Amino acid sequence: MLWGDVVTARDQISPDWVRISTAAAIELGLAPGKIAGCGCGCINLLQNYPHGCAANCSYCGLARERPGAASDNSFIRVAWPLFRTDLVAERIAERERRGGVGRVCIAQVHDGRAFRDLIDMTERVRRAAPQVPISALVSAGLLDDERLAAIQSAGADIIGIGLDAASPEVFEKTRGSGVRGPHDWQQHWAIARAARRRFGAFKVNFHVVVGLGETDRELVDLLYALHAEQIAAYLFSFNPEPGTGMAEAPRAPIARLRRIQLVKHLIEHRELARAAIRFDAAGSILAIDVPQVQLDAAIASGTPFMTDGCPDRAGAVACNRPYGSYRPGEPFRDYPFQPSCSDLQTIRGELQLAEVLWHGEGVRAVAD
């Protein structure tokens, strides 16, 4: 932009303009500030259009019917400042030269222009920083196998999809016809499976939100199904966004979230048998039968309670999303860094696994 140019909000649209998470803007030197305790391993980018997103998910800050101007809305309770895409690509390249960028993630909104612009934006980042891995966080309803091939050719090596809801019923209520939204459960699964065939094992992920009205049983069943199909599951904790349909909905109790995080880790890394988890009549976790040494090792590692997301080139989590599930000063919902000894002590208290009954070599962890 030349000095004296007048750029209106209507002109500041993708692919030439892009929103960037506050943490990523700090990491690239585009915004002042410091992230306490860690850096931002993934540069998260978000498409921008004057009317926001055509979808209407009841918990989402970008929802079509959320009051106020789309340009003023937060997303995941975080501000996403707007910059020229080419400037962001240049800063990514500079950061890569100085010490490396773990990953770039380009997120679509639900808009008729979003696929075309995703290709354009991916190619801009790829030209500027050829070695930086790129994820495409897509809107499944805009895609088919041909479009997935084009995204891969443009330079993305991982596909992320916001399934969010753990069951068809919760999906329909929060994302589909129940909120006058365009999203379809079956289409999300069809695109995930097509992407799995094209991109490979665990190169496709579903975002899954704990606290949208699902039961523990539905979450656990989904985690087992995804693991069997070699589709990654990345957990998020529902955090009510002001002005949305679920603005007054309660968050999942921390004990519930911690147990789901622990079970997910045991499923993915310890091949926990489905029969080892029992539920009460309401579908809440009642018991987990697992060897005590295995349970202790999982908790002591801290890994189950860290943010899980797309990896960097070395296989470590790049997308650590600082403050994505909680506000500064609030208890961590997921840790964007390795939990310390004092953090682990806090986590053990939050898990509330004190009431246990021994079953041979296993323990029975009883929910409240």
pLDDT tens digit string along 31-42? 998 877 678 899
Q: What residues contact 161, with CB distance under 8 A and at least 6 apart?
A: 137, 138, 140, 188, 191, 192, 195, 204, 205, 206, 207
Greater confidence (65 vs 38) lies with: 65
- CA gyration radius, the chain: 20
- How sure is the predictor about 75, in pLDDT bands with cuts at 50, 70 and 90? low
17-252+313-322: CATH superfamily: Aldolase class I (3.20.20.70)
CA-angle at 306, arms to 63 and 88, nearest 5°: 55
Asked whether residue 157 carries a pLDDT value surpassing 60, the answer given is yes
Sign of CA dihedral 327, 183, 185, 310: negative
pLDDT at 4: 32
Structural tokens at position 365: 């962890």
- How sure is the predictor about 366, in pLDDT bands with cuts at 50, 70 and 90? very low
Q: How far apart (Å, rounded) are the C-alpha atoms in residues 315 and 91?
A: 23
Asked whether residue 332 carries a pLDDT value surpassing 60, the answer given is yes
pLDDT at 360: 39
Q: What single string gives the DSSP state of each residue in 216-246?
A: HHHHHHHHHHHHHTT-EEEEEE--PPTTSTT
Asked whether residue 224 carries a pLDDT value surpassing 80, the answer given is yes
Stretch 229-240: mean pLDDT: 96
Q: How far apart (Å, rounded) are the C-alpha atoms in residues 149 and 152?
A: 5
CB distance 261 to 235 below 8 Å: yes
pLDDT at 362: 43
Q: How far apart (Å, rounded) are the C-alpha atoms in residues 241 and 79?
A: 12
CB distance 320 to 38 below 8 Å: yes
Domain with CATH 3.20.20.70 in the chain: 17-252+313-322
Structural tokens at position 274: 């489905």
CB distance 155 to 122 below 8 Å: yes
Q: What residues contact 165, with CB distance under 8 A and at least 6 apart?
A: 171, 173, 174, 175, 185, 209, 212, 214
CB distance 166 to 219 below 8 Å: yes
Stretch 247-264: mean pLDDT: 95
Asked whether residue 322 carries a pLDDT value surpassing 80, the answer given is no
Q: How far apart (Å, rounded) are the C-alpha atoms in residues 165 and 82?
A: 29
pLDDT at 69: 55
Closest CA to 89 of 52, 49, 53, 120: 120
**β-bridge mates for residue 18, sequence order:** 83
CB distance 123 to 17 below 8 Å: no
Q: How far apart (Å, rounded) are the C-alpha atoms in residues 130 and 123?
A: 9
Q: How far apart (Å, rounded) are the C-alpha atoms in residues 137 and 157?
A: 11
Greater confidence (311 vs 357) lies with: 311
In the chain, the percentage of residues whose pLDDT exceeds 90 is 76
Element (H, E) at 22: helix 22-27
Q: What residues contact 246, with CB distance under 8 A and at least 6 apart?
A: 58, 59, 174, 212, 238, 240
Structural tokens at position 70: 């789309």
pLDDT at 72: 53
Q: How far from each other are the two terminal CA atoms of the chain, in whole angstroms?
A: 59
Q: What residues contact 32, with CB distance under 8 A and at least 6 apart?
A: 26
The secondary structure of residue 178, as a DSSP letter, is G
pLDDT at 61: 87
- Cβ neighbourhood burial of 188 (10 Å; 0-12, 13-18, 19+): buried
